């Protein structure tokens, strides 16, 4: 569950650091996972948001150097571009230890609540661009905490579920994987893309289609995907147990195969 946010003590966003774009990625055994894919998405975000990005080679070199200096084999890397007037954006890179996630989140699953709204309306800032301002996500986390659940899921004005504040979402029904399409207003996730590849290897169809709460409530399994969460089962949504309230076998298999992919690539 995210750290509790106290509105009265929360500082105001910094005008510089709440603008621009960013990427968060995972390091396994000292090697960046899908580094090129993350950089591709970062530079697409910069172009979409009109950020004058630093040279890709400079970003690549700084990340590799900082990772080596950190001596961390398992880490989280965050890259941010902070726009500057008539200059190349300031590059900010951090290498951090991997946050500890309770194993019970994977063995028992987590609880979520659907909250109204999205991080941004597609007509203003497309969610495929990772914009640094996160007010919508902070409000959603606060909403989930009021409801006493672990995480929040955004819902579009049309009633379709889109994504979590930092993860993609999907469901499994009769052996098929369903997930919202990115045009609905959600990030094209790197881990999501890896799961698509794994599902095809398993001969399980992947269907991108708008989904309402009804489809999620009646799914066989529901899950999150992200660089930090990897593949995480959801067993309670809006007070309704998903398939009896226990993680299902297919999400467990997807997570196992995802770890196999990590081993191959690291």
DSSP code of residue 5? P
Task: Tell me what percent of the chain is helix, strand and coil, each rounded to the nearest 5.
Answer: 30, 30, 40
Q: Please report whether residue 185 resides in a domain.
A: yes
Name the token pair of 69. Answer: 């200096």
Name the token pair of 263. Answer: 């081993």
Name the token pair of 153. Answer: 């899921």
Both 164 and 38 in a single domain?
no
Domain boundary among 97, 132, 151: 97
Q: Please report whether residue 15 resides in a domain.
A: no
Each residue's pLDDT tens digit in the chain (266 positions)?
A: 455 555 555 554 565 556 789 999 999 999 999 999 999 999 999 999 999 999 999 999 999 999 999 999 999 999 999 999 899 999 999 999 999 999 999 999 999 999 987 666 655 677 788 888 777 788 888 888 889 999 999 999 899 999 999 999 999 999 999 999 999 989 999 999 999 999 999 999 999 999 999 999 999 999 999 999 999 999 999 999 998 999 999 999 999 999 999 999 98
Both 64 and 145 in a single domain?
no
Q: Please report whether residue 1 resides in a domain.
A: no
Both 49 and 127 in a single domain?
no
Both 25 and 74 in a single domain?
yes
Q: Please report whether residue 12 resides in a domain.
A: no
Q: Please report whether residue 9 resides in a domain.
A: no
157: phi then psi, degrees, rounded to nearest 5: -60, -20
Tell whether pTM > 0.85. yes
Number of domains in the chain: 2
CATH number at residue 64: 3.30.470.10
Q: In what order do the strands lie in the sheet with 87-97?
A: 31-32, 21-28, 75-84, 87-97
22 DSSP β-pair partners: 80
**What is the DSSP secondary-structure string of 129-182?**
S-BS--HHHHHHHHHHHHTT-SEEEEE-TTS-EEEESS-EEEEEETTEEEE--G
Name the token pair of 59. Answer: 């970003």
CATH number at residue 173: 3.20.10.10
Domain boundary among 76, 97, 118: 97
- In this structure, the strands spanning 110-116 and 230-237 are parallel
Both 32 and 79 in a single domain?
yes
Domain boundary among 71, 97, 123: 97
Domain that holds residue 182: 104-265
Residue 51 and residue 104: Cα distance in Å, rounded?
Answer: 40
Q: Please report whether residue 161 resides in a domain.
A: yes
């Amino acid at each position: 569950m995210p750290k509790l946010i106290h509105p009265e003590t929360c500082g105001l966003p910094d005008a510089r650091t709440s603008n621009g774009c960013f990427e968060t990625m995972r390091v396994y055994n000292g090697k960046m996972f899908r580094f090129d894919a993350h950089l591709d998405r970062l530079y697409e975000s910069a172009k979409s948001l009109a950020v004058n990005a630093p040279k890709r080679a400079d970003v690549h070199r700084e990340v590799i150097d900082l990772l080596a200096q950190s001596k961390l084999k398992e880490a989280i890397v965050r890259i941010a571009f902070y726009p500057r007037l008539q200059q190349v954006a300031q590059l900010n890179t951090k290498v951090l230890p991997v946050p500890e996630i309770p194993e019970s989140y994977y063995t028992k699953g987590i609880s979520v609540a659907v909250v109204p709204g999205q991080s941004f309306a597609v007509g203003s800032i497309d969610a495929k661009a990772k914009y640094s301002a996160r007010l919508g996500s902070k409000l959603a986390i606060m909403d989930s905490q009021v409801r006493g659940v672990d995480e929040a899921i955004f819902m579009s004005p049309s009633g379709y579920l889109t994504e979590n504040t930092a993860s993609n979402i999907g469901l499994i029904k009769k052996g098929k994987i369903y997930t919202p399409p990115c045009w609905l207003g959600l990030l094209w996730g790197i881990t999501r893309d890896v799961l698509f590849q794994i599902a095809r290897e398993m001969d399980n169809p992947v269907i991108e289609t708008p989904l309402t709460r009804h489809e999620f409530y009646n799914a066989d399994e529901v899950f999150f995907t992200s660089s930090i969460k990897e593949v995480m089962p959801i067993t309670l949504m809006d007070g309704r147990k998903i398939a009896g309230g226990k993680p299902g076998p297919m999400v467990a298999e997807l997570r196992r195969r995802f770890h196999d992919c990590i081993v191959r690539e690291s």
